[in-house]
Amino acid sequence: MAILPLSYHPDPVLRQKAKRLKEKDINDSLQKLIDDMIETMRAVHGVGLAAPQVGISLRLAVIEVPQTAAAGPLVLINPEIVSRSGEREVEEGCLSLPGFRGKLKRSVKVTVRARDRNGRDYKIRGEDLLAEALEHELDHLNGTLYIDHMEEGEKPFKIEPEEG
């Protein structure tokens, strides 16, 4: 496994609509990419990572939050939101915008349909942090960043003192 280099805002790869994976794409090299993405997410203490964040414009993401701890990291291939409900205000960060967080609204509950790493169809229903992670990572696949959801005039705030 390997830790992959991250892409940072304003890298254009983060603004592209990522491509769907086909059956033939679910192969050994994809398994390696998934393992590398999980290792990278853990190395930087992220709760999720989407392929565009490692410079790969494919509809693939991994998520690891306390709710998924028992079953292992979620692998989402070609995920689609089936339904969402509720609204709550969150403070969110992103590995592609290090050192900042911002306030925005996310759904309370989200249901997503995706394929797992073996290409099997499944549905995942998430609440709170898992719902937020699902919305955040699926946004990445459409070239959307959390800053796009902030109210006009709101700015992300720094969470670390500026270096150098």
Structure tokens at 157: 């705030």
- Residue showing the smallest CB distance to Ni ion in the complex: 94
Query: Which residue intervals of 18-58 are DSSP H helices?
Result: 28-43
Task: Tell me which residue has tokens 């192969």.
Answer: 27
Q: What does the binding site for Ni ion look like in residue numbers (CB under 5 A)?
A: 94
Instruction: Tell me the closest approach of the beta carbon of residue 46 to Ni ion, in angstroms.
Output: 8
Residue with smaller CB distance to Ni ion, 3 or 26: 3
Q: Active site residue: 39, 80, 137, 163, which one?
A: 137
* AA letter at 104: L
The CA-based angle 79-19-22, given to 5 degrees, is: 75
Instruction: Tell me the closest approach of the beta carbon of residue 121 to Ni ion, in angstroms.
Output: 25
Cα(11)–Cα(30) distance, integer angstroms: 23
Positive or negative, the Cα torsion across 61, 99, 146, 132? positive
Structure tokens at 117: 């790493």
Residue with smaller CB distance to Ni ion, 26 or 57: 57
Instruction: Answer yes or no: 137 catalytic.
Output: yes
Instruction: Tell me the closest approach of the beta carbon of residue 124 to Ni ion, in angstroms.
Output: 18
Residue with smaller CB distance to Ni ion, 75 or 94: 94
Q: Catalytic residues, which ones?
A: 137
